[in-house]
Structure 1
Amino acid sequence: MLDHCSISHKGSGAVIWSRSFTPAASQLAASPSSPVNSLVREALIEGRTAENKYEKDGYSIKWTFANELDLIFVVAYQRILQLTYIEDLLSAVKALFMKMFQPFLVAFVASLRGVTAEEFTIVQLRDALSGWDKLFDKLLKGIEDKAAQDRKSRLRPATRFELTPSPPLNDDSTTPTQSTAQVNDAQEISRNIEALKSRLKGRPSPGGKRRGKGGKGGLVDSPSGTDTDTGKRKASKSMRKWGDSVPTESDMSELDFSSDRTDVHSSPANVSGLVDSSSLGTRRKDGIYEVKDLNFAGTSDGDEGEDEDDIISRALEASAVGKDAPAAQSTLSSTFGGLFARLTGSKVITTADLEPVLNGMREHLMKKNVAKEIADKVCEGVGENLIGKKVGGFNSIKSEVRTALSNSITRILTPKTSTDLLLSIRTKLATGAASTSLSASKSKRAPYTITFVGVNGVGKSTNLSKVAFWLLQNEFKVLIAACDTFRSGAVEQLRVHVRNLGALVGEGKAGKGAVELYERGYGKDAAGIAKEAIAYAQDTGFDVVLIDTAGRMQDNEPLMRALAKLVSTNNPDKIIFVGEALVGNEAVDQLTKFDRALKDFSASAGKGRGIDGMLITKWDTVDDKVGAALSMTYVTGQPILFVGCGQTYTDLRQLRVAHILQALLKD
């Protein structure tokens, strides 16, 4: 049973016709937080039109476009229902509606676009559609009846087969009937189960002759994993010997890089190499230190790059024939020349017209390291927004595809939340200071907390230190919480970073002791350490707490539950996923499962916390193959806050949408 159906105009948002089938469904389009309005914000505006299905608050929503008039047809129903006829209903409603009311719709859309001076209000259009309700009811009933008949026809043969008695087996026949075969299969399964039970109990299976050691009827290996049959036990692990002599105290001191010493390892003169003066950010007039914008190889600030007018044709030719096939290339050019030559006048774009162009664009995006699944959805979304539009010729269709692709990528990459971390930090600290001064209690100001999560080996600790350097340059006091209590050397690594950062800051504006490490060793509960670190930062006046977590694979449920426990216990202000720029399809899997696991396992009061932003590392290794940025942003809808592009503390960059778009469209 349907809950809601509506027809609206994409450009203006005007609802031309709507129908609710239940009292609760009447609120589907009325509330700003309704599923239908959420569909517009989270799917249509962000370019996720290739999904074809959207789920929100227990509803499933499907839609289709009529691009020639910028109309969208939406159907909503309960997610628990398996309605197989929704796509057929949308196609039929679209075809019938366009056929019956096209003159009125053309006049209405023309008045919205300002093409004609004549005003055609939504009230006039609804008056013209007065008979549509009866047509819709008749169409819906016909499609529901057809779906019910199809369902019965699929179930009928199986029912007849089960109720039909099997004929008796002829003594002269050598072919068993279906019922005899089923009985034999059941007997075989029963024998296998009995044999398995016997093995698990340590007894030989019926008819079996396998016996354990010593002639007993047990298994060869004891179920408990002990060596009771042989009476032997494993020898205890002995200490590994590295040399002939015991190391002296001076040797141990020379090899000790974990303690906070005041020798050459921690002198400011030796950590100056950890800051690259050429990659330092800029300081604004108000004193705020900003990291540099990322510039791709061969470009400079404000450089728009090469002209991309022929990107569609080049991508198409490269994907279909390659660079060293001039004969095939000329054949392809003549083929598409004939195809687009027919697109003269006011030709309506069809699926057949767009298919070769979109296939070439899909190949081009995947060469830029965009995940295949995301490339498919982006190109499908571009196609859906172009089918039905009118163009004038070859140049027009190239221009339409390029513009639609550029707009789609821009909508996906444009953040829906603020990426200004400094503003968020200052706002919370100012709000906390005001509330503390007004409160009668002596409670301290709560610090701003950021948790870094991700898989193993992507560079969480290193890039956490880069973020700490950026915060220190903005005169914040930073506490780093060592919550990776599993990986050997994780605490020592952060200790070295804190020592280096402290030496770099020195006696500057941030002051001595502006950065500190909070640690409790290994094998402890990470959630508890993070909670203690936040309390310590609140008591001692630290502004920001950076929580380092252990790397874990996205499929490891126990570790993901432990990470979700840390999130739900401490409720950090930001959860930043640290990923690599080198991954393609793997980025989609990692982010999807991290985001889903955090939301499912950290659910508090009915709502879990997901990923709030991304930091992509090793960006300097991919040149202009920046597809990972598009894949990660598409999966979560969250912005990329920073990218790492080197080994020094200043190798942190900000991404601009225009730069990513330029690199993705560059041949």
Structure 2
Amino acid sequence: MLEQLLIFTRGGLILWTCKELGNALKGSPIDTLIRSCLLEERSGAASYNYDAPGAAYTLKWTFHNELGLVFVAVYQRILHLLYVDDLLVMVKHGFSEIYDPKRTDYGDFDETFRQLRKEAEARAEDLKKSKQVAGKPLNNSKKQGQVQNGGFEGVGKKKSQGNLANDGEDGDNRKGHKLENGHSNGYHVDSEKTKVNGAANGIGNTSSDAGAFDVNKLQKLRAKGGKKTETFVSKGSKEESKKKITKKNRVWDDSPPQAKLDFTDHVGENGDNIEVVAADHGESMMDKEEIFSSESEDEEDEEDVGKDSKPETKKKGWFSSMFQSIAGKANLERSDLEPALKALKDRLMTKNVAEEIAEKLCESVAASLEGKKLASFTRVSSTVQAAMEEALVRILTPRRSIDILRDVHAAKEQRKPYVVVFVGVNGVGKSTNLAKVAYWLQQHKVSVMMAACDTFRSGAVEQLRTHARRLQIPIFEKGYEKDPAVVAKEAIQEATRNGSDVVLVDTAGRMQDNEPLMRALSKLIYLNNPDLVLFVGEALVGNDAVDQLSKFNQKLADLSTSPNTRLIDGILLTKFDTIDDKVGAALSMVYISGAPVMFVGCGQSYTDLKKLNVKSIVKTLLK
């Protein structure tokens, strides 16, 4: 049974609701749909599932982009209503005929909706009966048997097509992982080193203008079975190998000297250790405003057509595009949008955006533009580009305030420390970036205490202790093989007694599939109820970012024993200075989790921490 059907404008004004249904919805499914789906550019999805205590709804919707209207149907998830999609299309067509922007009361639409609903239910019933007839057992009659065989053959084809579709989806996923390996690594090749190494292996290019080895020659060598080739080494490489300085071995004996063997401190020019003090490393980049030029680059008309196109095709495409831009198009159709959307999808994927995310974004943009009138002197490609830019800005812009300093002072007024837990996979730089956050907080006169809750990895406590000594910050530690949840709880109690404003909790790195460690993390978050759960992820990853974040959130939700599940609140992206223009991981992470990027690590010193520049990221993704 249909629970509710609403018609409202994109501005949020409700124009009509079905009084005949009159069912009171439990929770707030419409508000959740608008906040989590429509405003987050997930409107290209087929449906949305809403879960609340005692309520499980499925919501479906459609748009009238020219009039700016949204049509939403709500029904119980346990019911599979086949007529909802058809009903929404019929209601959209019927309501658009009587819509007037000056009107606010549409009571006369009740009777029209009643008739449309009966018609849609009748169509669904006829379709259901026709499927039942096609599925009846075969009769002895040869003629009827032929008909039935034809019916079963059609059903079998549909079933096989469905299986092929599922296989295709799996194939797409595999394709996405291959894409990650091909595009996510933004490393640069040192031409001089590659030139020497290539020459040494006999596959290098001896020409002065060639810096890297020739891949074609390498493939030919493999095809020939790896025949012997002449090897030659340049004189410069021999001289460099002779001059190469080797590391001096450290001598360990039974009676070490009295001088401390601590090589973590700064070392002077003469090799003497310098005493570590809380030196000022400079102003953190978090407090520096990044200057961004909003001037957009001029678009090239020939680029959209293609450089390798024939002159006739190029001329025809240019003329038709120019004619449409001058005369305007009545309504944009899906076929008009597909070329521009495909080009945008490929561009996003080359910038390290996960394939699944790029496809969903293009679907959402298509849903927002389909049926809309193209303005005069405007091309379809520029319209799609503007819509995608607006969608990306809306996704990357935080939905809530992320002013940590304000939240810290609010917690201080309540006489309790502000607790931040750093989580993530192995080797992403949690401890290093925790120290960067601590240094930034120190600059704002905030007292900080570190909690060494990584009791799993060897050397983790010593690493955090080194950062604490350099920054002159107290650290709470209990050694290894302790319960990290209990260590964090005791650290928070110690910070409350000492009057520390912030507690930064370092946790062990764990893969998203490691069930015991994920269970320990869920226990730590549930027991201590931190103010902020920060996921630390690498900016280098592509499709893997989607898998990491989605599984972290899923595990935290599944393993939580509290009805109010705590998920990831924010993201800290590390190694952002190594990716050049491959900034797609930021978009993938925000899209899959809905959590904002709160910090960006861009170097190895304590000052190398900054905010995410949304305009710069969007420009990089679309250029």
Tell me the TM-score normalized by structure 1: 0.70
Contact 2:18 2:110 in 1 (8 A): no
* Residue number in structure 2 paired with 1:291: 287
2:294 is equivalent to residue 304 of structure 1: yes
Whole-angstrom distance in 2 between the partners of 1:159 and 1:546: 75
* Residue number in structure 1 paired with 2:112: 132
Contact 1:461 1:494 in 2 (8 A): yes
Q: Over residues 516-556 of structure 1, what are the superposed CA-to-partner deviations in whole Å (9 max), with x where a residue is unaligned? A: 11111111111111111111111111111000011111122
* Residue number in structure 1 paired with 2:162: none
Percent sequence identity is 43
Q: Which amino acid aligns with 1:657?
A: V
Residue ranges of structure 1 left out of the alignment (5+ in a row): 112-120, 161-242, 283-289, 296-300, 433-444, 503-514
* Residue number in structure 1 paired with 2:275: 267
2:396 is equivalent to residue 413 of structure 1: yes
Q: Which amino acid aligns with 2:323?
A: A
Contact 1:478 1:544 in 2 (8 A): yes
* Residue number in structure 1 paired with 2:432: 462
Whole-angstrom distance in 1 between the partners of 2:353 and 2:395: 13
Query: Of 36, 41, 46, which residue of structure 2 is paired with 1:52?
Result: 46
Q: Over residues 154-187 of structure 1, what are the superposed CA-to-partner deviations in whole Å (9 max), with x where a residue is unaligned? A: 7545999xxxxxxxxxxxxxxxxxxxxxxxxxxx
Q: Over residues 218-262 of structure 1, what are the superposed CA-to-partner deviations in whole Å (9 max), with x where a residue is unaligned? A: xxxxxxxxxxxxxxxxxxxxxxxxx9x983231697545689xxx
Q: Once the 2 structures are TM-superposed, how far is the Cα of residue 589 of structure 1 from its aligned partner?
A: 1.0
Whole-angstrom distance in 2 between the partners of 1:457 and 1:592: 19
Whole-angstrom distance in 1 between the partners of 2:575 and 2:97: 56
* Residue number in structure 2 paired with 1:207: none
Contact 1:618 1:646 in 2 (8 A): yes
2:493 is equivalent to residue 535 of structure 1: yes
Provide the secondary structure at the position in 1 that maps to 2:33.
Answer: helix
Q: Which amino acid aligns with 2:424?
A: G
Provide the secondary structure at the position in 2 that maps to 1:428.
Answer: helix
* Residue number in structure 2 paired with 1:649: 606
Contact 2:276 2:469 in 1 (8 A): no
Q: Once the 2 structures are TM-superposed, how far is the Cα of residue 570 of structure 1 from its aligned partner?
A: 0.4
* Residue number in structure 1 paired with 2:344: 361
* Residue number in structure 2 paired with 1:11: 11
- When Rg is computed on C-alpha atoms for both structures, the one with the higher figure is 1
Whole-angstrom distance in 2 between the partners of 1:493 and 1:554: 23
Whole-angstrom distance in 1 between the partners of 2:135 and 2:474: 69
* Residue number in structure 2 paired with 1:141: 121
* Residue number in structure 2 paired with 1:122: 104
Q: Which amino acid aligns with 1:50?
A: G
Contact 1:49 1:381 in 2 (8 A): yes
Q: Over residues 101-146 of structure 1, what are the superposed CA-to-partner deviations in whole Å (9 max), with x where a residue is unaligned? A: 44421xx13x3xxxxxxxxx222x333x242132133123214413
* Residue number in structure 1 paired with 2:253: 247
Contact 1:6 1:19 in 2 (8 A): no
Whole-angstrom distance in 2 between the partners of 1:330 and 1:654: 49
* Residue number in structure 2 paired with 1:658: 615
Whole-angstrom distance in 1 between the partners of 2:297 and 2:584: 17
Within 5 Å, which residues of 2 pair with 1:108-507?
Answer: 108-109=100-101, 111=102, 121-123=103-105, 125-127=106-108, 129-149=109-129, 152-153=132-133, 156-157=136-137, 247-250=253-256, 255=261, 265=273, 267-268=275-276, 275=281, 277=282, 280-281=283-284, 290-293=286-289, 295=290, 301-305=291-295, 307-308=296-297, 310=299, 314=303, 316=304, 325-327=307-309, 331=313, 334-335=316-317, 337-338=319-320, 341-342=323-324, 344-393=327-376, 395-430=378-413, 432=414, 445-502=415-472
* Residue number in structure 1 paired with 2:180: none
1:599–1:583 distance in 2 versus 1, CA, 3 Å: same
Whole-angstrom distance in 2 between the partners of 1:122 and 1:384: 26
1:38–1:333 distance in 2 versus 1, CA, 3 Å: farther
Contact 2:292 2:616 in 1 (8 A): no
Query: Of 553, 559, 579, which residue of structure 2 is paired with 1:622?
Result: 579
Q: Which amino acid aligns with 1:48?
A: R
Whole-angstrom distance in 2 between the partners of 1:485 and 1:42: 37
Whole-angstrom distance in 1 between the partners of 2:361 and 2:138: 42
Q: Over residues 558-608 of structure 1, what are the superposed CA-to-partner deviations in whole Å (9 max), with x where a residue is unaligned? A: 22111100000000000000011111111111111111211222241x220
1:333–1:623 distance in 2 versus 1, CA, 3 Å: farther
Provide the secondary structure at the position in 1 that maps to 2:533.
Answer: strand
1:258–1:377 distance in 2 versus 1, CA, 3 Å: same
* Residue number in structure 2 paired with 1:608: 565
* Residue number in structure 2 paired with 1:91: 89
Provide the secondary structure at the position in 2 that maps to 1:51.
Answer: coil
Q: Which amino acid aligns with 2:68?
A: D
Q: Which amino acid aligns with 1:303?
A: S
Whole-angstrom distance in 1 between the partners of 2:506 and 2:398: 25
Whole-angstrom distance in 1 between the partners of 2:495 and 2:373: 62
Within 5 Å, which residues of 2 pair with 1:547-562?
Answer: 547-562=505-520
Whole-angstrom distance in 2 between the partners of 1:408 and 1:65: 16
* Residue number in structure 2 paired with 1:69: 67
Contact 1:2 1:78 in 2 (8 A): yes
CA RMSD, aligned part only?
A: 3.1
* Residue number in structure 2 paired with 1:38: 32
Whole-angstrom distance in 1 between the partners of 2:385 and 2:463: 47
Whole-angstrom distance in 1 between the partners of 2:276 and 2:553: 40
2:567 is equivalent to residue 567 of structure 1: no
Whole-angstrom distance in 1 between the partners of 2:273 and 2:441: 24
Whole-angstrom distance in 1 between the partners of 2:385 and 2:575: 29
Whole-angstrom distance in 1 between the partners of 2:81 and 2:66: 28
Q: Which amino acid aligns with 2:436?
A: K
Q: Which amino acid aligns with 2:125?
A: D
Contact 1:617 1:644 in 2 (8 A): yes
Q: Which amino acid aligns with 1:465?
A: A
Q: Once the 2 structures are TM-superposed, how far is the Cα of residue 396 of structure 1 from its aligned partner?
A: 4.1
Contact 1:292 1:652 in 2 (8 A): no
2:619 is equivalent to residue 636 of structure 1: no
Whole-angstrom distance in 2 between the partners of 1:150 and 1:258: 77
Whole-angstrom distance in 2 between the partners of 1:354 and 1:621: 34
Q: Which amino acid aligns with 1:133?
A: F
Q: Once the 2 structures are TM-superposed, how far is the Cα of residue 64 of structure 1 from its aligned partner?
A: 1.2
Q: Once the 2 structures are TM-superposed, how far is the Cα of residue 428 of structure 1 from its aligned partner?
A: 1.2
Whole-angstrom distance in 1 between the partners of 2:545 and 2:496: 36
Q: Once the 2 structures are TM-superposed, how far is the Cα of residue 382 of structure 1 from its aligned partner?
A: 0.9
2:538 is equivalent to residue 599 of structure 1: no
Contact 2:71 2:88 in 1 (8 A): yes
Q: Once the 2 structures are TM-superposed, how far is the Cα of residue 637 of structure 1 from its aligned partner?
A: 1.3
Q: Over residues 457-504 of structure 1, what are the superposed CA-to-partner deviations in whole Å (9 max), with x where a residue is unaligned? A: 1110100000000111111211111111111111110011111111xx
1:607–1:140 distance in 2 versus 1, CA, 3 Å: farther
Q: Which amino acid aligns with 2:119?
A: L
Q: Once the 2 structures are TM-superposed, how far is the Cα of residue 67 of structure 1 from its aligned partner?
A: 1.2
Whole-angstrom distance in 2 between the partners of 1:330 and 1:648: 57
Whole-angstrom distance in 1 between the partners of 2:389 and 2:311: 26
* Residue number in structure 1 paired with 2:209: none
Whole-angstrom distance in 2 between the partners of 1:383 and 1:645: 35
Q: Which amino acid aligns with 1:39?
A: L
Provide the secondary structure at the position in 1 that maps to 2:44.
Answer: helix
Provide the secondary structure at the position in 1 that maps to 2:416.
Answer: coil
Residue ranges of structure 2 left out of the alignment (5+ in a row): 141-248, 266-270
